[in-house]
Amino acid sequence: MPERTIVVLISGSGSNLQALIDATQEGRLRAKIIAVISNRQKAFGLERAKKAGIPTDTFSLKKFREQGQSRIDFDVAIAKTIQERYHPALIVLAGWMHILSPEFLSFFEKQNNIINLHPALPGQFDGAHAIERAFEAFKQGKITHTGIMVHKVIADVDRGEVILKREIPIEQNDTLETLEERIHSYEHKLIVEAAQAFLDNLENN
């Protein structure tokens, strides 16, 4: 049976990382988070990882650039760390705000084991500020609901095979903050279910 190990990539608050940590600790997610990698030194998620005793690594694109290295060098350094040091069954992008280059993805082509949480439904609001854009579209009467998804990561941003998705209503009296809150609470469930589904699928194949 393959080892159910996960590396989580974060850039910020890490509330979805926390959901994964809680689920592993409570036995709802049968897996071990073996490392957390951040591209921001101040990401609060790093504190969450440390508190849970999970090793962390931080990579700064700015520092790479200052040393005359490229964005691709940066991506390759992260990919090598993940593959050579941790060799996880699954890589979860949980609020990871850096588009990964084909050079990064090529390290994991065979395993096809990178999944990303995105706060929009497939084909809608790809890329950054998805919740703000959905809220704007709602105010203009263009949509009545939004959603979230977890999908496989491919070079085409937010267009990889969908593992799980969920529609989320937008209420008439919603503010951006109340909508964000609702989205986050559903994300914390979906990310755990998607990680579990991915790992179960590995075992069954």
Q: Looking at 87, 118, 151, 184, which residue is catalytic?
A: 118
Does position 15 bind ligand GAR by CB under 6 A? Answer: yes
User: What is the Cα–Cα distance from 126 to 58, expressed in whole angstroms?
Assistant: 26
Site for ligand GAR in 38-57 (CB under 6 A): 45
Tell me, what DSSP letter sits at residue 8?
E
Number of residues that this document lists for the chain: 205
162, burial (CB in 10 Å: exposed 0-12, middle 13-18, buried 19+): middle
Minimal CA–CA distance to 149: which of 110, 123, 182, 177?
Answer: 123
Q: Pick the stretch among 11-19, 29-37, 163-171, 193-201 that binds ligand GAR (CB under 6 A).
A: 11-19
Site for ligand GAR in 92-131 (CB under 6 A): 94-95, 117-119, 130
Q: Considering beta carbons, is residue 75 or 187 the nearer one to ligand GAR? A: 187
Report residue 92 CA to chain centroid gap.
5
Query: Could you tell me the smallest distance in angstroms from the CB atom of residue 97 to ligand GAR?
Result: 6
**Cα Rg of the chain (Å, integer):** 17
Whether residue 151 lies in the annotated active site: no
Site for ligand GAR in 128-157 (CB under 6 A): 130
Q: At what angle do helices 130-139 and 176-204 cross, to 10 degrees?
A: 130
Binding residue count for ligand GAR, defined by CB under 6 A? 15
User: What is the Cα–Cα distance from 144 to 142, expressed in whole angstroms?
Assistant: 7
Q: Considering beta carbons, is residue 157 or 202 the nearer one to ligand GAR? A: 157
The token pair at 118 is 């995105």
Query: Could you tell me the smallest distance in angstroms from the CB atom of residue 9 to ligand GAR?
Result: 11
Query: Could you tell me the smallest distance in angstroms from the CB atom of residue 73 to ligand GAR?
Result: 23
Query: Could you tell me the smallest distance in angstroms from the CB atom of residue 157 to ligand GAR?
Result: 8
Site for ligand GAR in 170-199 (CB under 6 A): 184, 187
The token pair at 3 is 């080892």
Interacting residues toward ligand GAR by CB under 6 A: 10, 12-16, 45, 94-95, 117-119, 130, 184, 187
Catalytic residues: 118
